[in-house]
Amino acid sequence: MGSVPQIPYYNQNIFPETENAVKDHLIIFDTTLRDGEQSPGASMTKEEKVRIARQLERMRVDVIEAGFPAASNGDFEAVKAVADCIKDSTVCGLARATEADIKRAGEALKGANSGRIHTFIATSPIHMEKKLRMSPEQVVEQAVKAVKWAHRYTGNVEFSPEDAGRSDVTFLCRVLEAVIEAGATTLNIPDTVGYTMPEQFGNLIRTLRERIPNSDKVVFSVHCHNDLGLAVANSLSAVMNGARQVECTINGLGERAGNAALEEIVMAVRTRQDFFPCDTHIDATHIVSASKLVSGITGFPVQPNKAIVGANAFAHESGIHQDGVLKHRETYEIMRAEDVGWGANKLLLGKHSGRNAFRSRLAELGIALGSEEALNTTFMRFKELADKKHDIFDEDLYALVSDETMTLQEQYKLLSLTAHSETGETPHAKIVIAEGGKELQAESDGSGPVDATFRAIEKILASGADLQLYSVNNITSGTDSQGEVTVRLQKSGRIVNGHGADTDIVVASAKAYLSALNKLHSKLKQAHPQV
């Protein structure tokens, strides 16, 4: 048997030719706030987007795609708010290849330190013919015009030929050469429907770089969807073939099966520095908190066996593995849990913590509550929580603030809830809610206390919404942890997710149900960029 390696396995170079190579910068373009938000039920408020954007900035994400400003006034305001507060990352707005969309994106990005407009038009035969009803000539012309319009607002212009994975390569070369000539600085190649295979997608990137005469003037980017579970593999194959920007999302959130997961791209490239000719500037120690933040805000739980950010990603259950890890960590671990932020949720506050400690921890977490009054009410709720729960972690604070910002915008508020369940008895709930200035109450039986609570709410509000998903997760560990409940409701073709957190999961459930009803009540329909 050979001797035990003295340096971590992942730092040993098994490809010595990359040893002294100067590494390129791999640009990380996060689209959680745009493509991620296109997941049904994942829509976020302006405040939630700002909170996630700050976390992405803290992680040193290079480009944050903050939304699609032409979708609705709400989207415009959210992109503007992100552009106004983010200083270190470039903030990007998506626009279809129309003058009106591009103008809207340009206006939303006015306050950005560094802004980018990302414009796109489809280039595959099926999209051009069936969706756009445009000829290939018209598409080239529109793409060139779009890039020139974007240049009125910024020199940082990204162009995407939508559905590139199913486009004709010769036609792609023609469009892309023309948009480079028009001033595009990044060419993003999307596998919009997640159709390509890793080798094929890598070859596509290499072919485009080789065949487009002015390709050396731009950065090649990729944007892969996960319909066949290949988004990360396709993106990495593209990187090996010269792509130097990857578009990705936290937890792989995104349209349908999602996008390439940021945490997997970053850690694959970092762990296999012996293999990749580039590296990112990401501070990976913020990955786990970013994952928790996005999961908490969207209500999309992270599966336990998810790479990097799943609860079991670094847990060794089997005896053989545990024994190996105890004897020598690198027998079964290729990354260190702490390098991606596991264990960083240190105990921070308790019931004796004062207002200043509370305020400064929120500031460290990048949470701005907006006013002294909001700080005071959130601090009071923190004290109530600290009475029930001994140790307060960062995750508890995120949940508390998320609850508080939702409460401020609510039409329906929970005032009180009594739920009763006992072996052999029918569960029963009594609820009092406020709607505007009125107090309304109802009671109901149910198959369990949560069911009884939801029935009581429906007796008052008669929303007629269809419950599509109900899930409970504990925010931290231990039975005194807050339960975080997600409720997904559908009504008239609209899907919304509501969430609520409390140490009592029946109360958390009531909050989540009301939060979903508040969203159904308030949110205007957004335009979808690709439809």
- List of residues contacting Zn ion (CB under 5 A): 35
Check residue 67 for interaction with ligand KIV (CB under 6 A): no
Residue 162: CB minimum distance to ligand KIV, A:
4
Look up residue 15 and give its DSSP letter.
-
Which residue lies nearer to ligand KIV by CB, 48 or 162? 162
Residue 254: CB minimum distance to ligand KIV, A:
8
Residue type, 273: Q
Query: 149 to 188, contacts with ligand KIV by CB under 6 A?
Result: 160, 162
Pick one of Zn ion, ligand KIV, none as the site partner of residue 120 (Cβ within 5 to 8 A by kind): ligand KIV
What is residue 427's three-state secondary structure?
Answer: coil
Which residue lies nearer to ligand KIV by CB, 123 or 482? 123
One residue of 32, 156, 192, 518 binding ligand KIV per CB under 6 A: 192
Which residue lies nearer to Zn ion by CB, 159 or 379? 159
Burial class (CB in 10 A: 0-12, 13-18, 19+), 475: buried
Check residue 65 for interaction with ligand KIV (CB under 6 A): no
- The residues with which 483 forms a beta bridge, in sequence order, are 474, 502
Residue 34: CB minimum distance to Zn ion, A:
8
Pick one of ligand KIV, Zn ion, none as the site partner of residue 160 (Cβ within 5 to 8 A by kind): ligand KIV
Check residue 69 for interaction with ligand KIV (CB under 6 A): no
Pick one of ligand KIV, Zn ion, none as the site partner of residue 161 (Cβ within 5 to 8 A by kind): none
Which residue's structure tokens are 């929580």?
A: 385
C-alpha distances in Å from residue 179, one per residue of 17, 143, 156, 501, 523: 36, 7, 13, 48, 36
Residue type, 275: F
Q: What are phi and psi of 214, to 5 degrees?
A: -100, 25
Between CA 261 and CA 225 the distance in angstroms is 10
Residue 85: CB minimum distance to Zn ion, A:
25
Query: 8 to 37, contacts with ligand KIV by CB under 6 A?
Result: 35
Per DSSP bridges, beta strands 412-420 and 428-435 are: antiparallel
One residue of 120, 220, 276, 379 binding ligand KIV per CB under 6 A: 120
Check residue 116 for interaction with ligand KIV (CB under 6 A): no
Pick one of Zn ion, ligand KIV, none as the site partner of residue 162 (Cβ within 5 to 8 A by kind): ligand KIV
Three-state secondary structure of 227-275: CCCCHHHHHHHHHHCCCCEEEEEHHHCCCCCCECEHHHHHHHHHHCCCC
Pick one of ligand KIV, Zn ion, none as the site partner of residue 258 (Cβ within 5 to 8 A by kind): none
Which residue lies nearer to ligand KIV by CB, 449 or 529? 529
Per DSSP bridges, beta strands 186-191 and 219-224 are: parallel
Q: In the numeric block, which tokens belong to residue 216?
A: 């050396």
Applying CB under 6 A, the residues found at the interface with ligand KIV are 35, 120, 160, 162, 190, 192, 223, 225, 529
